[in-house]
Amino acid sequence: MVLDPVLAGTRAPASPADVVVLGWHHFYDRSTSGVGLLSDGLLHTAELLALVAGFFLYADLRRRRALAPAHAWSGFFLGLGAFQLFDGIVDHKLLRLHQIRYGVDVTPYDWAWNIAGLVLLLIGVILALRAARRSGAGPAS
């Protein structure tokens, strides 16, 4: 099932990305630094649970010999791209939970973040189409 790797894919980039930029921002940084740290802790707890759940579901597919690696990779990249675009558009711009950086022009950061997310999403779509074609489960013509 493609959704199992999607679950892992949506969470895989979150923790390393947050560790790298932890000095720049918190998940919610429009309050005190204590509230920011609390929001980070809650977010990382949810990320870890989702990542572990995704890998357990992945392992179950392998155990049942139901894993289709091409579909799994497509799901992983779809999850990576979906997370990044959601974070860049919804969290950063619409909800304004946090920005990538403060005190600088964030436009280049926003463009780089969202374009990278779009590229990852596109890779996932291409892999999903190839996997569907190979398995004969593609859309009816």
| pLDDT tens per residue across span 50-97 | 888 888 988 898 899 988 899 999 999 999 999 999 989 998 889 888
Of the two residues 7 and 118, the one the predictor is more confident about is 118
**Type of residue found at 72:** A
C-alpha Rg value of the chain to the nearest Å: 17
Predicted local confidence at residue 20, as pLDDT: 53
Which of 58, 117, 62, 4 is CA-nearest to residue 125? 117
Which of 77, 61, 64 is CA-nearest to residue 1? 61
* pTM score over 0.75: no
105 phi/psi in degrees, rounded to 5:
-70, 115
**Type of residue found at 48:** L
